[in-house]
Structure 1
Amino acid sequence: MSELNWTPPEVAEFYDGSSPMADKYYFGYQHLGYWYDETDDATLEDATKRLTGKIVDTLGLRRGEHLLDAGCGLGAPAIHIASEYGARVTGITISPVEAARAEARAQESGVADLVGFEVADYHSLPHAENHFDAVVAIESLFNAFDLDKALLEFHRVLRPGGRVAFSEMIKTTSASQAKKPFPQAREPMTADAWAQAFETAGFVVEEQVRCGRRVYVNSGKRYLNRHDEVSGLLAGEFGEEITADIRKGMQTAFHLGPEDVDYLILCARKP
């Protein structure tokens, strides 16, 4: 299983620098969207909310349950989950900049009584055993420098019977041409490799959903178009280098077809 070369402080520094761009121009969401087909006119914000709902629905999340959002980013998904499902949500991010913005967003949204954010590393969670009813990791495990350790931490903090839902861009086969899109990312894995990783950590895999055409294909076109629309503003505010690097990463991530790349939503349970 490939490991990440970046250290946690380097990953934190990357998101400290890049997250203000996502906050201002991508509505605070740092994951892909879900469009039913090419004619679906959902906005980027609505499509990302739709994908958040698809992932969380696999958990069977109930009102009042306590959810860990592992790699919560700028907090938009956690706030959406609390608002729609009535769950308590603790979001963790390794980036102090993200955590501060997420806290401010929770105050602005009126759900601060349900949502809280912490600076923490999912490789070493500051929570007791059996603390959470569920865990969600939306496109955040590609930053794991030790995936086995992160999944064992999820298992430790979940109560018996607790569920974890994960989503990620994946390779269709071990021979796929898919490569990691950004330096701080892991190499993409196959669905079978992800299922095996969760099982090795002690989980029982209960559901796998493959929706690459609705997520990967449609997101690529729309995110590249959005980036091009605001590239002048991005370059003026954040610099031409990071603006160009973000687009290059998008091109790397989205240039392949469904024969090479898919999108996986996986839900597993702690016995």
Structure 2
Amino acid sequence: MKQSIKTARKQRGFTLVEMSVTMAAAGLLFSAVTTGQDLVDQAKATKLINDVKTVEMQLQQYAQLKGRLPGDCDADGVIDYAADKNATSSVRSDVGNNARAVEYSYSVLMPTTPADGADASAQTAGCALTGSGDTATTYGVSTNDTNANVWLNDLKLAGVVSDSAPNRKLAKLVHEDFMFVGKLTDNGVDAAGGADYNAMVIHNVPQWMARRLAVAINGQDARADRSRVRLLTRTGTAGDYSELWQTKQDGTGSLDATRDGMVSVVYFFDRIPESKKGAAATPA
């Protein structure tokens, strides 16, 4: 009889109290993990926002020193480099970032200033400090729309950023992809008229992070084709924008958008294209 009682005690299951304690502990652990991930996401988004604002401050500081933006070699008000493409093709892609990484120099050599009339084509070259002033609109310095390094080299030559940091590191952001500073050509379909605008183009940003950037700068994320921060399409470099932030940006439209889907974002830190989607293009 005693043996049967001992065997029954050994085979009994969890009591309600034990199960309640276990479920409560699991709930607390899950809550801690979820909260921790939210804090990590918030920190990453905040760093991206701060980095973008820091670059904007550096661009404006340079403009105050030199009377032109870095990379605007002919001082016509528009940065020469085409920020949403490279020398051969568009760099808007969700597949890796090697094509974008090679656009930036990893050398720590001090950048040089080309002679008046010379092209700022080498990765170590910046714009000329003074131009020849041979005409009213040309300052003797050739523009360059394929060298992503010029804006950073100009900042280095002016002492705005450290010349000991490789450009590839300076241009890389918290989401492990790159920012490009230059011009974006709006073709006049999504804006009042076609024109070139100074902009930062940030590639492969997770959609949730892009929306937080939009809220921080635009004040809202209801539309992705309005205000300063916009969602670029990936089908070309014509300056088209997607209307909604949750739009899939893989270039094919074959997959549904996800929270972590990668997008290309443009930030017009200078002039803003007037939003008139669907309006007929007019001369800039």
Same fold per superposition (TM over 0.5): no
Larger relative contact order (C-alpha < 8 A, sep ≥ 6)?
1
Rg (Cα) greater in structure: 2
Higher helix proportion, which one? 1
Q: TM-score, normalised by structure 1?
A: 0.24
